[in-house]
Chain A
Amino acid sequence: MMLKGLFLGLLAIVLAAALPAQLNAQTDRAAVTNALAKAVEGAREAGVPDSTVIKLLALGYEHGVEPASMANLVRITGEIKKNGLPLEPFVDKIVEGVAKSVPAASIENLLNQKQQDYQFTRSITAAYMKKHAFQQQVTPDDLVGIAESLYSGLTRQDLTLMMERAPAVPLFTLKRVINVQASLKQAGFDPKLSDRIISTALENNFFERQRRGFVRAIVAARRKGVSDLEITEAALKTMRSGGTVGGFCSQIGVSSSDIGN
Chain B
Amino acid sequence: MKNKKPEVADPETVFASRSNACTSDETTDRIKNMIRDMPQIEPPAGLLRSVMESVEARSVPLWVRAYRWARSPRTVSFNFLYLTPAMVACALLVFLALPLHKKQNGNVVLNEAKGLIPVQIAMDMPGAHSVHVVGSFNGWVPQPCSLEKRNGSNRWILTLQLQPGRYEYAFLVDGKHMPHPDAEFNQDDGFGNKNTVLALEKEDDA
Give chain A's interface residues, CB within 8 Å of chain B.
92-93, 95-97, 99-100, 102, 106, 110, 113-114, 141, 144-145, 148, 151-153, 179, 182-183, 186-187, 210, 212, 215-216, 219, 260
Number of A-B residue pairs at CB separation under 8 A: 64
B108 within 8 A of A: no
Which 3 A-B pairs give the minimum distances between C-beta atoms? A99-B140, A215-B184, A152-B187
Q: What residues on B are CB-neighbors of A219 within 8 Å?
A: 182, 184
Q: What residues on A are CB-neighbors of B140 within 8 Å?
A: 95-96, 99-100
Q: What residues on A are CB-neighbors of B193 within 8 Å?
A: 100
B6 within 8 A of A: no
A186, B185: Cβ atoms under 8 Å? Answer: yes
B166, A141: Cβ atoms under 8 Å? Answer: yes
A145, B186: Cβ atoms under 8 Å? Answer: no
> Nearest-CB distance from B153 to chain A (Å)?
14
> Nearest-CB distance from B123 to chain A (Å)?
10
A216, B184: Cβ atoms under 8 Å? Answer: yes
Give chain B's interface residues, CB within 8 Å of chain A.
120, 122, 134, 136, 139-141, 165-166, 168, 182, 184-191, 193, 197, 199, 203-204
With contacts A99-B134, A100-B191, A145-B199 taken as known, whether A152 is within 8 angstroms of B186 at the C-beta atoms is yes
A144, B166: Cβ atoms under 8 Å? Answer: yes
Bound together, the chains give a CA A219 to CA B183 distance in angstroms of: 9
Q: A216-B182, A216-B184 are in contact. List 19 more A-B contacts (CB 8 A).
A: A92-B168, A93-B190, A95-B139, A96-B168, A96-B191, A97-B190, A99-B141, A100-B189, A110-B190, A141-B165, A145-B166, A145-B199, A148-B197, A151-B188, A152-B186, A152-B197, A182-B185, A183-B184, A210-B203
